[in-house]
Structure 1
Amino acid sequence: MPEPESQEDASQQQTDAERRRRRAQFLRERAEARALRDRVQPRRAKVARLRHAMRMRTFRW
């Protein structure tokens, strides 16, 4: 008879794998949407790149 903890660990690993898979899918879709937006609105994309660069320059480690 399997212990309850081992069943719980197995289900936890399964849900972690599922969560990572969903997160990877979300990040892929977000990157795709961002790339599409950048192609459609190049001026806004340029401004966003400049703003991000400024933020990174002023970031304190």
Structure 2
Amino acid sequence: MAPSPPRLDPDRRRRRLELLAALADAKARESAQPQRLRGARLRELIASRRRLAN
């Protein structure tokens, strides 16, 4: 039988759960944004990346 993974200490486990909850919340908010806002954000990121590359 395969050994079970080691248990995380309570503090680390709490921080991990908080991080996963924040990530899920961010994903939910992002999917709720209108398409034009997501497109504008994407264009902004592309433009800033081009500025950094040049």
TM-score by length of 2: 0.51
The answer on 1:30 being equivalent to 2:9 is no
SS of the residue 2:9 aligns to = helix
Higher alpha-carbon Rg: 1
The answer on 1:58 being equivalent to 2:45 is no
* Number of residue-to-residue matches in the alignment: 46
Q: Residue type matched to 1:56 in 2?
A: R
1:17 maps to 16
- In the aligned structure 2, how far is the partner of 1:19 from the partner of 1:31? 18
CA RMSD after TM alignment: 2.6
**1:37-57 per-position Cα deviation (integer Å, ceiling 9, x unaligned):** 11xxx3x55444333321110
* Structure with the larger RCO, 1 or 2 (CA within 8 Å, 6+ apart): 2
Higher helix share: 1
- In the aligned structure 2, how far is the partner of 1:49 from the partner of 1:15? 33
Q: Residue type matched to 2:11 in 1?
A: Q
